[in-house]
Amino acid sequence: MTAADVPALLRETVGEGALITDPAGMGSYLTDWRNAWSGAAAAVVRPGSTEEVAAVVRACRTAGVAVVPQGGNTGLCGGSMPDSSGRQVVLSLDRMRRIRGVDPVDLTITAEAGVVLRSVQQAAAAEGCLFPLSLGSEASCTIGGNLATNAGGTGVLRYGNMRDLTLGLEVVLPDGRIWNGLRALRKDNTGYDLKQLFVGAEGTLGVITAAVLKLFPAVRSRATAWVALPSPQAAVDLIGVVRALCGDRLTGFEVMSRQSVDFVLRHQAGARDLFADVHPWYALVELSDTLPDAGLDGLLEAGLAEAFEREVAADAVVASGSAQVAALWALREGISEAQNFEGPSLKHDVTVPVSSIPAFVERTDRALQAALPGIRIVTYGHIGDGNLHYNLSKPAGSDDAAFRAMAGELARVVYDSTSSFDGSISAEHGLGQSKRDVIADYKDGLELELMRGIKRLLDPPGLMNPGKVLPSA
């Protein structure tokens, strides 16, 4: 079958209404949120039900046409983009937006893959519950994409990542069969945990069409502090102090370097630092509780007092009122966007053991400056999970193209350092196409062999999101 035959095939399968073939109409489906990746497609198809997804997958399988599942297109590794051949089909889940049920007794929500994360958060809140996954992209990313990338975000240290929040899945397998694993059980020891194969598979093992997700009791009190720190070691110490005192009430701990804050202060309207002095590191620390007046401000102040006593904190302020809390989170969530104003941003999303963070930062920064003197290193993220975003900007005033040309070399500096601390070169964003080849240098050969075996078992012709996750060679 040639690319020209695909639209007719799909028209027969799901009808004209679910099909886009004109270049203008396909446009937004063929480049990602950051315009970092783009592709060409024979068609974009938008099925409205699981059965339609299955029909499309079966038809494409029979015709030997590759399928690229797509959610909100906010992924950062090019995983939702077709290649440039123009022969692949983008299967967008953006019409599958039903919330099939919320159960406050079972503490579960059942949502279709195309539901936007913020809508799931709102549906949970409407029932007095919390769905705790929280990402800077939550207004656009979808539950299907969150599952496929095993998304993390700012609540992982208390609630876990998407893998931990998933109870059941409905998946259209690469041969078009529908697996209904939409169970709402917290315990089910009846063989292999099949759902976990599809979480984090980035659309390479099947199309997730719905999920049963865990809910938690709603949070009714919160306290947030902005803390100045002398070093990454102080940040790690501060986590220990606050966690020892507050336990599970510690629900947010984000660290950011001065370079990160400087970019936001420069490019985010209204952003301001709460301290007069400039400090090398900052942390945004948040406690929350289901009690309406749990005295969290006092608890946080007690933790900060101990941090001062131990000379861990250099300055600190507990936010007063929701506007100031929102401004602090906007500062943190604004880093990614602010950096885009400074030229190309080379992103690295890595994890090392929390205890290794200080030595890792010291070694990585030294190696990066040796590789490119004057490089500006934006280090920030979910330090409580050992996850730092090491996003690099060119030396001020230097050439964009020359900086981009060093991307491979600079990535190797970050990843070699990560690996030297037994870390992972992808903490939460996945591999997509951007890291599918470099993973071969950092993943154990047996693990890659097992992953390929699973891919061959479920998708022998390799038509489900080809060119993603697994190394080409």
Residues making contact with ligand FAD (CB under 6 A): 33, 68-76, 79-80, 93, 113, 135-137, 141-142, 144-146, 148-149, 151-153, 202-203, 207-208, 336, 428-429, 432, 465, 468
DSSP 10-23: HHHHH-GGGEE-SH
Q: Token digits for 53?
A: 């997804």
Question: Could you give the CA distance from residue 64 to residue 81 in angstroms, rounded to a whole number?
Answer: 18
Of 107 and 148, nearer to ligand FAD (C-beta) is 148
The binder of 347, among ligand FAD, ligand S2G, none, by C-beta within 5 to 8 A per type, is: ligand S2G
The contact set with ligand S2G (CB under 6 A) reads 76, 136, 336, 347, 349, 381, 389, 391, 428
Query: Which residue type is seen at 165?
Result: L
CB 330 within 8 A of CB 256: no
Considering the complex, what minimum distance in angstroms separates the CB of residue 92 from ligand FAD? Answer: 8
The binder of 70, among ligand FAD, ligand S2G, none, by C-beta within 5 to 8 A per type, is: ligand FAD
Considering the complex, what minimum distance in angstroms separates the CB of residue 349 from ligand S2G? Answer: 6
H/E segment holding residue 295: none
Angle at 458 between CA 457 and CA 461, to 5 degrees: 85
Considering the complex, what minimum distance in angstroms separates the CB of residue 23 from ligand S2G? Answer: 29
Considering the complex, what minimum distance in angstroms separates the CB of residue 96 from ligand FAD? Answer: 8
Question: Could you give the CA distance from residue 122 to residue 117 in angstroms, rounded to a whole number?
Answer: 9
Of 52 and 428, nearer to ligand FAD (C-beta) is 428
Helix locations, 247-334, DSSP H: 258-267, 296-309, 322-333
The binder of 389, among ligand S2G, ligand FAD, none, by C-beta within 5 to 8 A per type, is: ligand S2G
CB 50 within 8 A of CB 178: yes
CB 295 within 8 A of CB 249: no
Please report how the helices 50-63 and 6-14 are oriented relative to each other, as an axis angle in degrees rounded to 10: 150
CB 132 within 8 A of CB 109: no
Q: Token digits for 306?
A: 């101990």
Of 73 and 288, nearer to ligand FAD (C-beta) is 73
**Alpha-carbon torsion 363, 369, 371, 377, what sign?**
positive
Q: How many CB atoms lie within 10 A of CB 392?
A: 25
Question: Could you give the CA distance from residue 201 to residue 342 in angstroms, rounded to a whole number?
Answer: 33
Considering the complex, what minimum distance in angstroms separates the CB of residue 330 from ligand FAD? Answer: 12
Considering the complex, what minimum distance in angstroms separates the CB of residue 42 from ligand S2G? Answer: 31
Considering the complex, what minimum distance in angstroms separates the CB of residue 161 from ligand FAD? Answer: 7
Report residue 99: phi and psi, to 5°.
-95, 110
The binder of 207, among ligand FAD, ligand S2G, none, by C-beta within 5 to 8 A per type, is: ligand FAD
CB 93 within 8 A of CB 70: yes
Nearest residue to 194 via CA among 169, 165, 160: 169
Residue 8, classed as helix, strand or coil, is helix
Considering the complex, what minimum distance in angstroms separates the CB of residue 428 from ligand FAD? Answer: 3
The binder of 465, among ligand FAD, ligand S2G, none, by C-beta within 5 to 8 A per type, is: ligand FAD
In the bound state, the residue with its beta carbon closest to ligand FAD is 145
The binder of 113, among ligand S2G, ligand FAD, none, by C-beta within 5 to 8 A per type, is: ligand FAD
The binder of 88, among ligand FAD, ligand S2G, none, by C-beta within 5 to 8 A per type, is: none
List the beta bridge partners of residue 142. 116
Of 21 and 140, nearer to ligand S2G (C-beta) is 140
List the beta bridge partners of residue 346. 392
Of 394 and 429, nearer to ligand FAD (C-beta) is 429
The binder of 60, among ligand S2G, ligand FAD, none, by C-beta within 5 to 8 A per type, is: none
Considering the complex, what minimum distance in angstroms separates the CB of residue 153 from ligand S2G? Answer: 7
Of 145 and 303, nearer to ligand FAD (C-beta) is 145
The binder of 434, among ligand FAD, ligand S2G, none, by C-beta within 5 to 8 A per type, is: none
Of 169 and 215, nearer to ligand FAD (C-beta) is 169
